Amino acid sequence: MLSLYYEVTFGISLALSLLYAMMWHKHFDVHITLLFVLIPITNLGYLQMTNAQNLQAALDANKIVYIGGCFLLLFIMLSVLTMCRIRVPRWTRAGLILLTAGIFCSILTAGQTPYYYKKVSFDLIDGTGILHKEYGFMHTVFYIMVILYLSLTVAALVYSFIRKKDVSNRILYLLTCLVVISVISYFAGAKLRRTYNIDPVPATYVMAQIVYLIIIRRVSLYDITDTGIDSLVRNGDTGFISFDFRHRYIGSNETAKGVFPILKELTVDKSIDHIEFFQDNVLQWLRKFEEDEKNDISLYEHGGKTFMIDVNYLYNGHRKKGYQLFLKDDTKNQAYISLLNRFNFSLRTEVQQKTAHILEMHDKLILSMAAMVESRDNSTGGHIRRTSDCIRILTDVMRETGGISLSDQFIRHLIKAAPMHDLGKIAVDDAVLRKPGRFTDEEFEIMKTHAAEGARIVHNILQGTDDPEFQRIAENVAHYHHERWDGSGYPQGLRGEEIPLEARIMAIADVYDALVSKRVYKESMSFGKADQIMIEGMGRHFDQRLEPFYIAARPRLEEYYRSLAD
């Protein structure tokens, strides 16, 4: 009858281990797998102990029993820690294994040394072998180890109940039941062993297997990483290709082989470095990623579809072992992006056209206002156009010869602002503005107000413009083009570099045009005479540093004014 109990527990444990093997998944915790391997072996030891016919056979069976007695509690504890997501350092894990192995080694010397058993004897009662033992000090160490493992397991469960939100309470309840059963079996079952010579531990191991089978069905669902990867692979939408750091092929799924049919013929561990097909795609993606890990996304066209290629490291545990390529059909997204880009381009083009039209109308309005002001003056007309052309000639020379750095934007703004320099004359009375002779002192003071008034008008016209830099240059040109280098100009008597550069350049163009152009009150001055006056004004009226540029531009200026006379 006693032998039947051990036969049944062994048979059930073996059947449960076979069931586990059928359910096994590579993501299962290795400690649980070891449990299902060791439990049938341990229960076989109990069966052999019962059927032993001599002392040596009983001792050999006892050693098999202690494989479970020593290592199963360790693996139960480590599996609980893993399921509670409590990380155990490697050196700690190694230390626990060495401790357990050391105690088991002392058990292997039973009958030969007094470390674990001081004395052993054997009786055969009603055909059942019974081993009598007198315990040594290593047996006490064994019990200390058992208490340590159970205590750590209980502590992990209590901690997880209180603090862990990412562990299923159902799993924790099952693990708690397992620990309670183990405690009862190891300690409360001692009386049962003494009274009836039957050990409840084999039945406890069978119950542990049943509990673990229930647990693993749930744990695999709670492991989001594993279930997510499995779902992606099975779904068929995402392809996977793996390579080691030497670009040797490791493997791929069917989706990837559909995109790259050559993978079906590629041998595992074969390097792709010298395969022509991969030169312009996979190898290019890998090398970009090796140069900079941010270059991890590429696109690949195949069979009328667009695939997004995401390159990542291939990990084995926490260690990088190679590269993993993820292939995702991104055709719809790319089509949408392309459509959006075309729409944005069309919209941007239309906005640019509308903006250019508005700016053109704005510029024409400003030129019309300047022309209207000029029509009130006693000049022969064309002053605003000529000064703009003079500015263009001067700035071209300045850009060509260097010395003073002018940006293309500054030059464009200055040429555009030049026609606005005399807008303030609209506020000057006709009696003063159209006087053919020299101004009296009072009339000249009135005339000088056009500079500040021009700046005010320009400010009001351009206020709120999208180009504040142009507004600043236009205001400065209108406000300060009559300032002189020596401080004798108006309206504020600025000196030297206090005068903005754009106003200093405008002053040269404004004076030169006034000298060489015909007015109703004077004839045009010869180029030679005008040049003499301009040179004499350098350092007094004009910025001395602009003299070389004026001299270099003089032939072009004279050619320009001759063309106007023809």
Tens digit of each residue's pLDDT (9 = 90 or more) over 468-522: 898 899 999 999 999 999 999 999 999 999 999 999 999 999 999 889 887 656 6
Burial-class residue 311 by CB neighbours within 10 Å (0-12, 13-18, 19+): buried
> Can you read off the two tokens belonging to residue 434?
């159209």
Do 59 and 132 contact (CB within 8 A), yes or no?
A: no
Residue 202 CA to residue 199 CA, distance in Å, equals 7
Closest CA relative to residue 374, chosen from 389, 362, 387, 359: 387
Burial-class residue 503 by CB neighbours within 10 Å (0-12, 13-18, 19+): buried
Closest CA relative to residue 216, chosen from 15, 18, 27, 87: 27
Residue 492 CA to residue 504 CA, distance in Å, equals 14
Topology of the domain comprising 228-329? Beta-Lactamase (3.30.450)
> Can you read off the two tokens belonging to residue 455?
């700046």
Model confidence pLDDT, tens digit, residues 298-308: 888 888 888 88
Over its C-alpha atoms, the chain yields an Rg (Å, rounded) of 49
Instruction: Compute CA 253 distance to the chain's CA centroid, rounded to the nearest angstrom.
Output: 27
Secondary structure letter of residue 295 according to DSSP: -
Do 242 and 314 contact (CB within 8 A), yes or no?
A: yes
The residue with tokens 């989706």 is 255
Name the strand (E) or helix (H) holding 504. helix 501-516
What CA–CA distances, in Å, run from 497 to 81, 504, 539? 78, 9, 12
Beta strands 297-302 and 249-252, pairing class: unpaired
Q: What is residue 375's predicted lDDT score, i.e. its pLDDT?
A: 57
Closest CA relative to residue 44, chosen from 65, 63, 59: 65
Closest CA relative to residue 145, chosen from 98, 109, 202: 98
Q: What is residue 224's predicted lDDT score, i.e. its pLDDT?
A: 42
> Can you read off the two tokens belonging to residue 319?
């260690």
Per cent of the chain over pLDDT 90 is 26
> Can you read off the two tokens belonging to residue 149?
């493992």
The residue with tokens 């941007």 is 348
Q: What is residue 194's predicted lDDT score, i.e. its pLDDT?
A: 60
Secondary structure letter of residue 197 according to DSSP: S
Q: What is residue 222's predicted lDDT score, i.e. its pLDDT?
A: 45
| pTM (predicted TM-score) | 0.47
CA torsion, points 550, 551, 553, 557, in degrees to nearest 10?
90
* Exposure b/e, 377-415, CB count within 10 A at least 16 = b: bebeeebbbbbbbbbbbbbebbeeeeeeebeeebbebbb
pLDDT per position in the chain (566 positions), as tens?
567 888 999 999 999 999 988 888 766 788 888 989 999 999 898 888 888 888 888 888 888 988 888 888 898 889 888 888 888 888 998 999 999 999 999 988 888 888 888 888 887 776 677 778 888 889 899 889 988 988 888 888 888 888 877 677 777 788 888 778 777 776 665 566 566 667 788 888 888 889 888 887 766 544 444 545 555 555 557 888 999 999 999 888 888 888 899 998 888 888 999 899 999 899 999 999 999 988 999 888 888 888 889 999 988 767 888 999 998 888 888 777 777 777 777 777 777 777 666 556 666 666 666 666 665 555 545 787 888 899 999 999 998 887 788 888 999 899 888 888 888 887 787 777 767 777 788 888 888 888 898 889 888 888 877 788 988 999 999 999 999 999 999 999 999 999 999 999 999 999 998 898 876 566 778 999 999 999 999 999 999 999 999 999 999 999 998 888 76
CB-side neighbour CA atoms (13 Å) of 347: 6
Cross-strand pairs, 315: 320
Best CATH choice for the domain 352-565 from the list 1.10.1740.10, 1.10.10.10, 1.10.3720.10, 1.10.3210.10: 1.10.3210.10
Do 157 and 179 contact (CB within 8 A), yes or no?
A: yes
Neighbours of 527 (CB within 10 A): 17
CB-side neighbour CA atoms (13 Å) of 126: 4
Residue 455 CA to residue 475 CA, distance in Å, equals 5
CB-side neighbour CA atoms (13 Å) of 483: 26
The residue with tokens 């944005």 is 344
**Torsion angles phi and psi, residue 316, rounded to 5:** -120, 100
Can you list the positions of beta strands (E) in 109-157?
A: 117-125, 128-135
- Residue type for position 106: S
Q: Which residues contact 136 (CB under 8 A, 6 or more apart)?
A: 114, 115, 116, 117, 118
Q: What is residue 150's predicted lDDT score, i.e. its pLDDT?
A: 87
What CA–CA distances, in Å, run from 95 to 101, 109, 231, 315, 464? 10, 22, 37, 26, 76
Q: What is residue 220's predicted lDDT score, i.e. its pLDDT?
A: 52
> Can you read off the two tokens belonging to residue 98?
């060495």
Instruction: Compute CA 441 distance to the chain's CA centroid, rounded to the nearest angstrom.
Output: 72
Q: What is residue 336's predicted lDDT score, i.e. its pLDDT?
A: 79
Model confidence pLDDT, tens digit, residues 428-459: 877 777 677 777 888 888 888 888 988 898 88
- Residue type for position 124: L
